[in-house]
Structures are given as C-alpha cells and as structure tokens.
Amino acid sequence: MTARTLFEKVWTAHEVLAQTPETPAVLYVDLHLIHEVTSPQAFSVLKSLGLPVRRPERTLATMDHSTPTRTEQVFGEVPIALDAAARQVRELERNAAEFGVELFGMRDSRRGIVHVISPELGATQPGMTIVCGDSHTSTHGAFGALAFGIGSTEVGHVLATQCLLQRKPKTFAVNVEGKLPLGVTAKDLILAIIGRVGVSGGTGHVIEYRGSTIRALSMEQRMTVCNMSIEAGARAGMIAPDDTTFAYLEGRPRAPRGAEWHAAVARWQGLATDAGAPFGASVDIDAATLEPMITYGTNPGMVVPISAPIPRSTGDAAYDKALGYMGFHGGDAMLDKPVNVVFIGSCTNGRLEDLEAAARILKGRKVAPGVHLLIVPGSQQVKREAEKAGLDEIFKSAGADWRESGCSMCLGMNGDTVAAGQYSVSTSNRNFEGRQGVGARTLLVSPLTAAASAVRGRITDPRGLL
Amino acid sequence: MQPLKRVRSRTVVLASSNVDTDQIIPARFLTTTTKEGLGRQLFADWRYLADGIPNPEFVLNQAAARDCSVLVAGRNFGCGSSREHAPWALLDYGIRAVISTEIADIFRTNSLKNGLLPVTVDEATAAWLLAHPGAEVDIDLETARLTLPSGASVSFPIEAFARHCLLNGVDELGYLRSKLGDIERFEAARSVPGAGSCTP
C-alpha cells in the first residue's frame, strides 16, 4: 500500500463520493460547530426550503463573536449594548430551539469561543472532519482532525445534508526541529512560520506541522499553531495525534469511554503520516534560532523578531501604506515603542496555559500607568480554572480588567474595541487595519510579550522579566 | 440563482495587495442576520471619512468608478475571515467579478456560491490591468477567457462544476441533496463497529 499523509487518511475516510474531473467530492462532516454571526442566513435557507437540520446530534452551537464580556451584561440585568448583536443572539436561541440543535447559551457554564469549547469538551477528536463558519476552525487540526472554515452558504449545506462539496487540497509539510528557547512560545513559532511562508503561501494547501518541536508542544500550544494556519493562507493545519493528544482527551465529557476509548485510541494511532509519504510543498524551520516575534504592519506576515528593526521600504506602495497606517518607519526598533492597550485572549491565546504564562510575568507587578490591560478567558471553563488557580487575583492586583469569555477585542463587534490611533499589543490573530476598532493599530505577540509590554507600557522582550 | 455567462464592464482598480475581508466589510457590520444591503458598508473604513462623508480619495467614490462591475485588485485578494458577507457586500454594491493574481481560498469558494466571479490571471495581465483603470474587459465564463481592450485574451482557471452551476443557475444545495442516498449509505456503513465511526 502506498504511503499516505495524515490529511490523505482523514480525507479518504470521509469521501461519500470521490471527486471527478467534472464534480467535486462529497465530503462527510463529523462535527459542525455554529455561532451567532455566520449561521442566521443559513437557517433562513433551511426555513425557506422547509428542511430540517439533518444531523442535529453532530451540530453544536455557541455564541462568542458578538457577545459582551462585561459580567453585568452576561449575568446581570444590563442589556447587550449593541441592539444588532442582541438580535443576533436571540435569533440563534430561536433557531437552535426550532431545529433541535444543542446550544450553549449566554449564561451556560460551557459557553465560550467555539474553538476553545469543543476541544475542552472532548468533542474535537482525531480523524474527524470538523467545520464551522469561522476561518479559525483550523484550530481543531491540533488533534489530527481535518478542520476548516466555511462560508454561510456552506453552513446551510452542512445543516441540510451533513456534507460539503469540496475539491481536494494539496499538502504542505512544515517541519520544525529543535528546542524552543526560553521565552519563545507556540505563538512566536507560528508567527515565524507565517513570516517564512507568507500570508498566501499556504493557499490551496492543508499544512501538516511536523518534527520534534511540534511533538514536544502541549495540546494548547498545538492549538495556537494550527489556529493561525489560515493566516498563512491554508484553510487547515494538522498535527498527528500522539500520546499527548490522547492524554488531553481521556476523561473529557464527550470523549469515548471504556472499551470504546481503547478502540478509538487504537484507530487514532494509525492516523499519523506514513514514512515516505509525499507532500506537495515543504519548509524547514530551526526552532532553536527563534526569538519572541512581533508584527509591525497590517497583515500577520509583516513580522520580525522582537529585537530586530522594522524592514526598510523598498518603495512598495502597499508596504508604505501599511507602515503609514501603523505610524512606523522602516529602520525603527520595535522594542520600547509605546503601548496603549494590551489584549490577552482569543481563540489563538485564550486558554489556561496562555493565562498562566501572562500570570508568570504579572505576578507581583503592576500594569504601567495609562495602559489598559484586558484579559478575556477563551471559555467559561477556562475562567473557572483560572480563578481556581488564583490567576484572576494576580491579574486584578496588577490592575488588569478580567472579563467573561468571548471573542472580545480580537474583532471589534461586541463592544470591546481599541480607539483610533491607539497601539494595541494583542495575543489575537489578525492585525488588519481596523480589526480591533476603526483606526486601531494592532501588534500581534505571545501572552508573555503582551504581559511584559503591559507592565512596562512599552514593547518589551519578555525574556528580561521571566 | 440567476445564470451567469458573461461580465462586460470597465474596471475599477484597487492596487493594494492582501486586501482582507475586514477591509471589504468590517466586523462591526456583521451583526446583521440577512444578506441584503451590505453594499453600503463595502470598504467602509476606506470609503467613508470619520464623519460618514465619502472619502473623495477612495477609488470607488470617484466618477470613473461609477457603474464598473469588475474590480481589479492586488495579490491575495479576500484573505482573512470566512465571512460570506464579503462577496455579499461586493455583489450588493454591483461588483460581478474580481480579478487578481491570487484570490484567497475561502473568499473564492464563497464568491462562486453567490455568482461573483473570481478571476485569477498571470502577473503580466494583472500588471497591465492594474496600470489601466477603466479598461473595458470581457469575461466569458463559457470559454473561461478574459479579453482585454486590445483583443488579446487569457484563460482563467475555474472548477468545472462551479462553472456549470454558474452558467446554468444550478443550486449546489439541490445537487448535494440529490446525493442523499449515497450519504445515507455512507453513514450506515460507518456505523458498523470497526468501520471507523466517529461520534461527536
């Protein structure tokens, strides 16, 4: 039998019908995650055609994008500030009830960012196909699932048929070897990979992250890496499941149990890419040479090691426009640039290990005067775990703002925004113009760099504070 | 969906590379629950000044852009989020085709599902188009060719099935539902123990 990649194995196992030159494959979807922003139009299509949700038991809904993070708006009597957001939340409640879809609503203890809650429930499992109307669905690839973002029309297709029409993508191996130096995190690694591959280098491909560095990462770190595959243009990123994966999943509420667990692990162990399986493209990264990374422009590929200067302009108009938007100049040092807002959270860096990393820096320190540090857990479960470990006290003592879970300041559509012209050091995934608010200037970093920069009020290398 | 066979129009040029979906339609406008009316917010942060007045410097606000239904853009157009609101906003505004050397995967898929033609061309063709705003182009989906004012034409890649659906106004959901028998057989085969079933 020919050697096959992890991707190839998962894809083939879900082909209801293989692709032909004239028709795309019909690909079966094991788990469909939905949220309030990209599902209403899809439910409208079902209603207009009189169709049910075909497999509600494979569908899981939550609300995260447009939901507020202030406790009094989530659990108190203070209404959601944005009327349209409130309507969207109510529409998802109605649709979930009408179509029999399980919903983790506003006050549910299991609510959170869709890409944080599915793994923590154990609903995300190796070998699955997982889709969601959100491009960061690639996060679930950390478990050896084939997981990718889809548009609302496709959300409707999955709701109605549990399948998607898909052309088979190509494969791309990102091989990472060596030990990450102290203070260099999974976020720095994926930013370095995007810097190397480019923001469209992965277009048309599924990335598999491989090598000793990847093997050594925890599940939460692997999720950070796979999460930003889309920022390299790849719809999906995958990591072969191994003992780290199985140890994370065992005992989670929706993971298999007893004899089923052992059968599942045996099956999952066969998913890894076979020796000698060919990839369409590849790059090699030496982890030992990496530094904390920071973006300086308006896409995630505009990234440098934190001690490096901003590259000088070569006369490219788009480059000059990006630096103009950021108020930066080629040749400037990134270190010591002033900071107004620091955001720690999102589906990229809103899990417990991320908060623990921030707490290591913030413990016994204060946020610099004039800096707003917003820390938003990725889910209500992450919030409870953080509070049990006393992290919230460390954050509040430092002067940080500690909130309920949600997408929050990653994208300015829920009331948490950065003002025009302000510099936001953020652990989120996109530094696009206006992403965090009209005119906001975003610098993407790890939770360590974010916390260190909050303490000094300037862009700071966290290695000096560890 | 209405059949789409051909788009003939002058072009409007947005030369920036990596135009992301947050520029096409900023997230704060995604609190809608319908597809309609998003054209007003297309490129909102570039198109309007802080007080909501149209920015005269932005290309779509200039007289030459009026009634253009083909957008020529720099490399990697539509990168970023999966929001289908991006092609909905472009279509609602009146754009019927986007030409670039590279178009991001999810945006491309979403465009094809809504009758917005993603046209990827070689560097030389793109460079000419970027340098000649207002050029009259003819995009023929039947032959999958883009014809320039000089009469020269280039082919562009388009999946056979998407082309068929666009040309004939075929609804992809209807096609998928015609395969429900195959889907049921697939599910039945997988539910046999050991067949690799996965339960969420």
Nearest CA in chain A to B28: A413
Assess whether pLDDT exceeds 60 at residue A299: yes
For residue B102, the chain A residues in CB contact (below 8 A) are 200, 203
Instruction: State whether A318 and B83 contact (CB < 8 Å).
Output: no
Q: What is the pLDDT of residue B198?
A: 47
Of B109, B161, B177, which is closest to A22 when you measure between CB atoms?
B161
Q: What is the CA radius of gyration of chain A?
A: 21
Which pLDDT belongs to residue B192? 58
B5-27 pLDDT tens trace: 999 999 999 999 999 999 999 99
Residues of A in Cβ contact (< 8 Å) with B23: 432-434
DSSP for chain B reads -----EEEEEEEEE--SS-BHHHHS-GGGTT-SSSTTGGGGTTHHHHB-TTS-B-TTSGGGSGGGTT--EEEE-SSBTBS---THHHHHHHHHT--EEEES-B-HHHHHHHHHHTPEEEE--HHHHHHHHHSTT-EEEEETTTTEEE-TTS-EEE----HHHHHHHHHT--HHHHHHTTHHHHHHHHHHHTSTTS-----
Instruction: At A187, list the tokens.
Output: 């976020």
Inter-chain touch B31–A413, beta carbons under 8 Å: yes
Please answer yes or no on whether A149 and B82 come within 8 Å at the CB atom: yes
Q: What is the ipTM of this complex?
A: 0.95
Share of chain A above pLDDT 90, in %: 97
Q: Using one digit for the tens of pLDDT, what is the confidence trace for A166-201?
A: 999 999 999 999 999 999 999 999 999 999 999 999
For A412, which of B17, B23, B27 is closest by C-beta distance?
B27
Contacts of B33 in chain A (CB under 8 A): 40-41, 44, 87-88, 91
User: CB-CB: which of B16, B160, B175 is closest to A318?
Assistant: B16
Sheet strand arrangement including A163-166: A15-17, A25-28, A163-166
Output the pLDDT for position A82: 84
Average pLDDT over residues A286-315: 97
Mutate to test the interface with B, among A153, A323, A429 (most CBs of B within 10 A): A153
Tell me which residue in B22, B75, B106 faces A151 most closely, judged by beta carbons: B106
Q: Find chain B residues with C-beta within 8 A of A438's C-beta.
A: 26, 45, 50
Predicted confidence (pLDDT) per residue in A374-417, tens digit: 999 999 999 999 999 999 999 999 999 999 999 999 998 999 99
Residue B194: CB atoms within 10 A of its CB come to 7
- Output the 3-class SS for A384-424: HHHHHCCHHHHHHHHCCEECCCCCHHHCCCCCCCCCCCCEE
Low-confidence ranges of chain B (pLDDT < 50): 194-200
- Across the interface, of A40, A88, A434, the residue whose CB is closest to B22 is A434
Region at B90 (left for phi over 0; alpha for psi -120 to 50; beta for the rest): alpha
Percent of chain A's residues with pLDDT above 70: 100
* Contact (CB<8Å) A65/B186: no
Give one DSSP letter per residue of B70-121, joined into a string. EEEE-SSBTBS---THHHHHHHHHT--EEEES-B-HHHHHHHHHHTPEEEE-
| Chain A residues in contact with B182 (beta carbon < 8 A) | 16-17, 26
The verdict on a CB contact (< 8 Å) between A151 and B198 is no
Question: Which tens digits make up the pLDDT trace of A107-165?
Answer: 999 999 999 999 999 999 999 999 999 999 999 999 999 999 999 999 999 999 999 99
pLDDT value of position B196 = 42
pLDDT value, residue B193? 52
Task: Give the residue from chain A lying closest to B76, CA to CA.
Answer: A200
For chains A and B, CB pairs below 8 A equal: 190
Interchain contact A318–B (C-beta under 8 A): yes
| Angle, helix B105-114 to helix B85-93, in steps of 10 degrees | 50
In angstroms, the separation between the Cα of residue A391 and the nearest Cα of chain B is: 31
Residue ranges of alpha helices (H) inside A201-343 are: 212-215, 219-227, 243-249, 258-268, 317-326
Give tens-digit pLDDT for A91-105.
999 999 999 999 999
Residue A456 contacts B, CB cutoff 8 Å: no
For the segment A318-337, the average pLDDT, to the nearest whole number, is 97
Cβ contact A151–B159 (<8 Å):
no
pLDDT at residue A412, as a whole number: 87
Phi, psi of A327 (to 5 degrees): 70, 30
Calculate the average pLDDT of chain A.
97
Report CB contact under 8 Å: A28, B187: yes
- pLDDT tens, position by position, A338-383: 999 999 999 999 999 999 999 999 999 999 999 999 999 999 999 9
A-chain residues near B82 (CB < 8 A): 38, 133-135, 137, 149-151
pTM of the model: 0.97
The chain A residue lying nearest B111, using CA atoms, is A151
